[in-house]
Every structure is written in structure tokens, then in C-alpha cells.
Amino acid sequence: MDFALWELAYFAVAALLSATLHSVGGFAGALLLAIALAPVLGVKETVPVVATAMMISHASRAWLFRNAVDWGAFRLIAIFGLPFIILGVLLYVELSERAVALFLGTFLMIAMPLRRYLAGRSITIPRKALGVVAVPYGFLSGASFGVGMILAPFMLGAGIVGEVLIATTAVLGIMLNVTKTVAFGISPLLTTELAILGVGLGLCTFPGHAFGRWIVRRTSIKLHTVVLETFVVFGAAYMLWKGIVG
């Protein structure tokens, strides 16, 4: 797969802007990047490329907050979620392009109102229950993106808040995306060229995080959320359209 110069420039800008919006809104970094890449890169190729990019992006955040990681919660979610991440990747590889588009579009249409519903509820769960939540989190994460925004309310309910939440989700993001990158790399879906593209996009996210922090200090949180959710809805509609029309 050869890319034109304008496509590479578009990918770089998409990575930078998605990282900016991720830092502004606090969620859905992989989701935003995938929505931006899909129309040019192709729906099915998007998930493995984004997994490679987010592996690097999460690593930078994990390093910044490395002293705040809740390793107990991380181990619990990783142990129960890891097998299902691999299962989700295996399912994704076998799906057709149209089936992938329908699956991702449907998931996004459900995930956004579900995130709002969960965010509006005061969820309280014992820490051990994170192992149960890790099963659907792992499977959906292996076959899609943006599942972290559904996991977050449960982590908050288990008492994981503030910098500890940011740090722990960043380390979980590394685990998730390393697993996906390796699994996709074994499959024929993630070629060497696409892997290199993913690494390049991951590096392009670094300045976006800094720019996002600058924006956060100058605009309202409500505006951030509206912009992100509008973008996600349009992305979901595009993927459903690709799945139905082809």
C-alpha cells in the first residue's frame, strides 16, 4: 500500500488533532484517530494502525504519571481481559470490510449514549468486580476502539480517581495496544508499511497532548464534550453508511 504525500500529511494532522482533542476531553483518543483515518486508510486497516499509534501515545502518558499507577487494579483487569483482547482481535481479522464497518458503527452509536448514562450514575463496585468488567472490556477493545470511556466509570466506582485513574488507564492502554499490535502483526492485516505508519502517527500525537492542555485552560469542559461527541456521532454514521452501501 503506497501513500501519496497529501495522505501522509493528512494522517499526521489527524494524529496531532486527535491527540489534542483527547487531552481536551480526556477520553476517546484512539476513537477520534480511527474516525479520522477510516475514510482515507480504509475501515478495516484503521484498527491495527491505530493500535500501533496508541501504543506509543499511551507510553508517553504512562511515563508522565508513572508514580500514580494502581498496579493492583491494572493486574486484575489485565489478567481477566487479556485472553478476550486476543479473542476480539481474532474475530476482527476474520470479518469482511463491510461487517467491520457495521460492527464499528453500531458499537459507536451505542457507546456514546452508554457513556453518558454511566457518567450520570453513581456507580460503586468492589475492586474485585473490575475482573468481571474486564471481560467485555477486553473483547470489545480487541475488535474495536474507544472502550476505555465505558471502563472509566467502573474504575471510578472502585475508587480509582484523579491522577491514579489517568496513570492506570494509560498503562492499560499500553497493555491493550501492545497485545493488539502483536496479534495483528502475526495476522496478514498489519503489514510492515502499516506498522511504520502507526509508529509515525504515534510520534505525531506528542505535540497534540501539549496543545490540548493549552486549550483546556481557555475553554469550558462542556464545550469539549459536545465537540467530541458530535465528532464520534458523525464517525459512527460514516461507518454505518460504509457497511450498508459498501
What is the tens place of the pLDDT at every residue in 160-193?
887 788 788 889 989 999 999 999 988 888 888 9
Q: What is the pLDDT of residue 88?
A: 92
The count of C-alpha atoms lying within 13 angstroms of the C-alpha of 163, restricted to the half-sphere facing its C-beta, is 8
- Using pLDDT thresholds of 50, 70 and 90, give the confidence band for residue 70: very high
Specify the amino acid at residue 111: A
- Closest among 129, 136, 185 to 156, alpha carbons compared: 129
Burial label for 68, CB within 10 Å (0-12, 13-18, 19+), is middle
pTM metric for this prediction: 0.80
Instruction: Give the mean pLDDT of the chain.
Output: 84
Residue with the three cell numbers 504515534: 202
In this structure, of 10-24, 32-46, 134-148, 194-208, the range with the lowest mean pLDDT score is 10-24
**C-alpha–C-alpha distance, residues 240 and 75, integer Å:** 35
Contact 52, 183 (CB under 8 A): no
Question: What is the residue extent of each domain of the chain?
Answer: 5-245
- Using pLDDT thresholds of 50, 70 and 90, give the confidence band for residue 85: very high
Contact 184, 151 (CB under 8 A): no
Handedness of CA 210, 28, 184, 242 (dihedral sign): negative
pLDDT exceeds 60 at position 53: yes
- Using pLDDT thresholds of 50, 70 and 90, give the confidence band for residue 205: confident
| Selected residue with higher pLDDT from 208 and 89 | 89
| Selected residue with higher pLDDT from 43 and 224 | 43
Query: Which three-class secondary structure state does DSSP give residue 211?
Result: helix
Helix axes 97-119, 148-157, angle to 10 degrees: 30
- Using pLDDT thresholds of 50, 70 and 90, give the confidence band for residue 234: confident
Q: What is the pLDDT of residue 218?
A: 62
Handedness of CA 93, 95, 97, 103 (dihedral sign): negative
In sequence order, what are the residues at sequence separation of 6 or more whose Cβ sits closer than 8 angstroms to the Cβ of residue 36?
A: 14, 17, 18
